[in-house]
C-alpha cells in the first residue's frame, strides 16, 4: 500500500506543478467557464420571475442560485478529463511506452487527475464556493451550510470524481477504434452536461426519465453531491445515494479493466 | 475585376482540395457534425423542460424563444463554416511561425487564411438553425412579407460578418502576444449570452453585448424584428452598420498586424 502511493503520488504532484506553470491561460479559461454559470443564473432569475414565486422542480429560487454555482464548483473538481490524454497517447503511439513500464496506466492517469482536481479545488473551487456562501448569507439571508452537509458533500464529490475518471477512461478506449475523438468528446460533454444535472436539475425531468437516470452513473457525478450540499437527502435516502456512488465506482472499475485487457490485445504500434 | 475572378477561381481550387480531405474521412466528418448538432439539441431540450414549469419568460413564449435560438445559430454556423481557420492563427500559426507561408505567396493574406479550410462541423449548427426556423414558420409567430424575408438573409450575412470581424480582431492580437487563443475564446463564448433575450441580464452585461462585443445584434435584436413590430433600422439596420464598422476595424487591425509580423524562430 505504501509502495503504491510512493509510485503514483508523484503523478499528482507533477500535475499540480504543471498546472501552476500555465496559470495565465488557466485564469482566462476559468473566467470563460464561469460565463455559463452566469447565463444560467440570470436565466433562472428570469424563470423564477415568471412564476408566482414558489419552488419549481423542488427548489426555491435561493436554492437554485446555490445549485447553479455549486454545480460549477462540483463539475470543475469532478470532471477531470483523462480520455483526451488516452486518445493522444493512442494516436501518437506513446501508449506503448506505458505498457512496458512497471506501472498501471490507469492508475497513473487517475493520480494525474487527482492533481488537476486538487488544483481546481484550490483555484477556483474554493473562491467560488466562498463567494456562493457569502452571497447566500448576506444577500439572500440564508443560513450558512452546516458542517455535516459540507463533510458529506466533500465525501460524495470525491466518489463522483472516481466515477467520472473511471467512466472517462472507458470512454477514452474509443480512441483505439477511431482517431477523431473531438466530435465524440463534444457529444460526451453535451450528453453529460444534461444527464449529470449540470444544465438543469434532474428533478425537472418527467418522472419516467428520472426513473431511468436512477439506473445510470451520470446522476451520481454532479447531481448527487450538490443535492447533498443543499441538504435534500436525509437518513436512509442519504445512505442509499452514497452507496449507489460506491457501487458505480466498483462497476466502472471492473468495466475499465475488462476493456483495457481486450484492447491492448489488439494494439499494434508502428515504429520504434 | 480580373483580380476578383482570380480569387474566385483560387477559392474553388483550394476548397476542392479540402473537400477531398473530408471525403477521405467520412466518419470523422459525421462525428463532428453530430457533436455540434447534439450540443445545440440539449439547449433546446433545456427550453422545453423549463416551459413545462412556466407559461412565458418575461413575455416571450416558448415558440418565440425557439425561433431566437435557431436564428442565432445561422450566422454563427456560416461564420464557423467559412472562417474557422482564424482560430488556428490565434492559437498557433503565429507562435510557431507557420504564418510565414501566407506572407510568401502573392495573394491576399486574409483570403489565404480563410480559404485554407472549410469546417464541416458547422453544418451541425446550421442544420439545427434551419430546422428550428422552419418549424417556427407554420406557428404564426413570425411576420412574413417580402421586406422581412429579404432582411432575414441580409441579417444572417451581417451577423456572420460580425462574428468573423470579432474573431479576426482577437486573432490579430496574436501578432503581439503570440498566442491570443484564450482571449478569442472568451470573446467568442460571449455569444452564448445572446441566445436568450438579453433583457434578462444585469445592465453591465447588456451594455457589453450591445456596445462592446455586439453579439446582441447577431441574434436577439435582429431575431426580435421578425417576431414583433419593430423598426427595421434600429434592428437590422444597426446590425449592418455595426457589421461594416467592425469589419473595417478588424481588417485594418489585421493588416497593421501583418506589417508588424515577425517570424518565430532564429
* Alpha carbon distance A204, A72 (integer Å): 18
Contact B49 A39 (CB under 8 A): no
| Chain A residues lying within 8 Å of B200, measured CB to CB | 42-43, 45-46
- Confirm or reject contact between A139 and chain B (CB < 8 A): no
Are B244 and B250 within 8 A, CB to CB?
no
- Confirm or reject contact between B101 and chain A (CB < 8 A): no
The larger pLDDT score, comparing residue A243 to residue B91, is at A243
Instruction: Supply the pTM of this predicted model.
Output: 0.84
Predicted confidence band at B245 (pLDDT cuts at 50, 70, 90)? very high
Predicted confidence band at A121 (pLDDT cuts at 50, 70, 90)? confident
Quote the domain boundaries for residue B161.
9-259
pLDDT tens readout for residues B78-125: 999 999 999 988 888 888 888 888 888 888 889 888 888 888 888 888
**Domain coordinates in residue numbering, chain A:** 2-48+61-265
Contact A35 B35 (CB under 8 A): no
Contact B200 A205 (CB under 8 A): no
pLDDT tens readout for residues A157-209: 999 999 999 999 999 888 887 766 777 888 888 889 889 988 889 999 989 99
- Confirm or reject contact between B39 and chain A (CB < 8 A): yes
- What is the distance in angstroms between the Cα of B214 and the nearest Cα belonging to chain A? 16
Q: Give pLDDT, residue A51.
A: 82
First and final C-alpha spacing in chain B: 40
Alpha helices in chain A (DSSP H): 2-21, 23-49, 61-78, 83-92, 95-100, 105-120, 126-134, 147-172, 182-195, 207-213, 223-229, 235-265
Is residue B32, in this structure, part of any structural domain at all?
Answer: yes
Contact A178 B31 (CB under 8 A): yes
**Which of B14, B215, B206, B202 is closest to B108 using CA atoms?**
B14
Write the residue in B30, B52, B200 that is nearest to A46 by C-beta. Answer: B200
pLDDT at A269 over 60: yes
- Confirm or reject contact between B32 and chain A (CB < 8 A): yes
- Confirm or reject contact between A260 and chain B (CB < 8 A): no
* Alpha carbon distance A206, A215 (integer Å): 15
Any idea which residue has 436577439 for its cell?
A: B220
Picking from A186, A199, A200, A203 by the largest number of B CB atoms within 10 A of its own CB, the best residue to mutate is A186
Which residues does B78 contact at the CB level (< 8 Å), separation at least 6? B122, B126, B156, B157, B160
Domain count within chain B: 1
Predicted confidence band at A243 (pLDDT cuts at 50, 70, 90)? very high
Is residue B1, in this structure, part of any structural domain at all?
Answer: no
Secondary structure (3-state) at B113: helix
pLDDT tens readout for residues B137-174: 888 888 888 888 888 999 999 999 999 999 999 999 88
- Confirm or reject contact between A194 and chain B (CB < 8 A): yes
Predicted confidence band at A272 (pLDDT cuts at 50, 70, 90)? very low
Q: Give pLDDT, residue B131.
A: 93
Picking from B84, B193, B216, B219 by the largest number of A CB atoms within 10 A of its own CB, the best residue to mutate is B193
DSSP string, A16-81: HHHHHHTHHHHHHHHHHHHHHHHHHHHHHHHHHHTS-SS-BTTB-HHHHHHHHHHHHHHHHHH---
Give the nearest chain B residue to A195 (CA atoms).
B42
Are B39 and A186 within 8 A, CB to CB?
yes
* Portion of chain A with pLDDT greater than 90, in percent: 32
**Predicted ipTM of the assembly:** 0.81
Is residue B162, in this structure, part of any structural domain at all?
Answer: yes
- Confirm or reject contact between A205 and chain B (CB < 8 A): yes
| Chain B residues lying within 8 Å of A187, measured CB to CB | 31, 34-35, 38-39
| Chain A residues lying within 8 Å of B28, measured CB to CB | 178-180, 183
Phi-psi category of B56—alpha, beta or left, where left has phi over 0 and alpha has psi -120 to 50?
Answer: beta
pLDDT tens readout for residues A43-71: 888 888 888 777 888 888 889 999 999 99
Q: Give pLDDT, residue A20.
A: 78
pLDDT tens readout for residues A32-50: 778 888 888 998 888 888 8
Computed on alpha carbons and rounded to an integer, the radius of gyration of chain B in Å comes to: 20
Are A173 and A263 within 8 A, CB to CB?
yes
Picking from A25, A28, A30, A50 by the largest number of B CB atoms within 10 A of its own CB, the best residue to mutate is A50
Write the residue in A50, A193, A205 that is nearest to B58 by C-beta. Answer: A50
Amino acid at each position: 500500500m505504501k509502495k503504491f502511493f510512493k509510485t503514483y503520488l508523484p503523478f499528482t504532484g507533477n500535475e499540480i506543478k504543471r498546472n501552476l506553470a500555465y496559470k495565465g491561460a488557466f485564469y482566462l479559461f476559468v473566467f470563460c467557464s464561469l460565463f455559463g454559470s452566469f447565463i444560467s443564473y440570470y436565466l433562472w432569475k428570469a424563470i423564477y420571475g415568471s412564476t408566482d414565486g414558489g419552488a419549481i422542480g423542488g427548489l426555491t429560487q435561493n436554492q437554485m442560485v446555490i445549485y447553479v454555482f455549486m454545480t460549477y464548483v462540483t463539475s470543475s473538481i469532478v470532471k477531470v478529463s483523462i480520455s483526451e490524454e488516452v486518445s493522444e497517447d493512442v494516436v501518437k503511439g506513446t501508449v506503448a511506452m506505458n505498457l512496458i513500464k512497471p506501472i498501471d496506466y490507469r492508475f497513473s492517469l487517475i493520480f494525474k487527475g487527482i492533481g488537476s482536481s486538487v488544483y481546481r479545488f484550490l483555484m477556483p473551487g474554493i473562491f467560488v464556493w466562498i463567494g456562493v456562501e457569502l452571497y447566500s448569507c448576506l444577500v439572500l439571508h440564508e443560513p450558512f451550510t452546516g458542517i455535516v452537509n459540507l463533510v458529506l458533500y466533500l465525501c460524495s464529490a470525491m466518489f463522483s470524481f472516481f466515477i467520472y475518471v473511471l467512466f472517462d477512461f472507458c470512454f477514452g478506449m474509443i480512441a483505439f477504434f477511431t482517431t477523431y475523438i473531438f466530435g465524440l468528446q463534444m457529444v460526451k460533454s453535451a450528453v453529460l452536461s444534461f444527464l449529470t444535472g449540470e444544465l438543469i436539475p434532474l428533478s425537472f425531468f418527467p418522472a419516467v426519465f428520472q426513473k431511468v437516470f436512477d439506473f445510470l452513473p451520470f446522476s451520481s457525478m454532479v447531481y448527487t453531491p450538490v443535492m447533498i450540499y443543499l441538504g435534500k437527502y436525509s437518513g436512509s435516502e442519504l445512505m442509499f445515494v452514497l452507496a449507489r456512488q460506491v457501487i458505480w465506482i466498483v462497476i466502472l472499475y471492473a468495466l475499465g479493466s475488462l476493456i483495457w485487457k481486450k484492447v491492448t490485445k489488439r494494439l499494434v504500434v508502428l515504429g520504434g | 475585376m480580373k483580380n476578383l475572378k482570380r480569387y474566385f477561381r483560387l477559392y474553388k481550387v483550394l476548397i476542392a482540395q479540402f473537400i477531398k480531405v473530408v471525403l477521405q474521412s467520412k466518419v470523422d466528418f459525421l462525428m463532428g457534425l453530430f457533436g455540434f448538432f447534439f450540443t445545440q439539441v440539449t439547449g433546446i431540450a433545456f427550453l422545453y423542460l423549463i416551459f413545462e414549469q412556466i407559461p412565458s419568460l418575461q413575455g416571450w413564449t416558448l415558440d418565440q424563444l425557439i425561433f431566437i435560438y435557431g436564428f442565432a445559430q445561422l450566422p454563427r454556423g456560416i461564420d464557423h463554416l467559412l472562417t474557422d481557420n482564424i482560430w488556428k492563427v490565434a492559437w498557433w500559426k503565429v507562435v510557431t511561425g507557420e504564418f510565414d507561408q501566407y506572407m510568401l505567396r502573392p495573394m491576399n493574406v486574409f483570403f489565404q487564411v480563410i480559404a485554407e479550410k472549410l469546417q464541416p462541423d458547422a453544418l451541425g449548427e446550421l442544420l439545427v438553425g434551419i430546422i428550428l426556423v422552419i418549424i417556427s414558420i407554420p406557428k404564426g409567430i413570425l411576420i412574413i412579407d417580402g421586406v422581412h424575408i429579404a432582411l432575414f438573409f441580409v441579417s444572417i450575412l451581417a451577423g456572420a460578418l460580425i462574428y468573423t470581424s470579432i474573431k479576426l480582431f482577437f486573432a490579430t492580437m496574436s501578432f503581439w502576444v503570440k498566442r491570443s487563443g484564450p482571449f478569442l475564446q472568451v470573446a467568442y463564448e460571449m455569444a452564448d449570452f445572446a441566445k436568450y433575450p438579453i433583457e434578462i441580464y444585469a445592465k453591465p452585461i447588456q451594455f457589453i453585448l450591445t456596445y462592446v462585443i455586439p453579439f446582441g445584434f447577431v441574434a436577439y435584436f435582429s431575431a426580435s424584428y421578425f417576431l414583433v413590430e419593430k423598426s427595421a433600422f434600429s434592428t437590422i439596420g444597426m446590425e449592418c452598420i455595426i457589421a461594416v464598422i467592425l469589419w473595417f476595424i478588424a481588417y485594418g487591425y489585421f493588416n497593421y498586424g501583418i506589417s508588424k509580423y515577425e517570424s518565430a524562430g532564429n
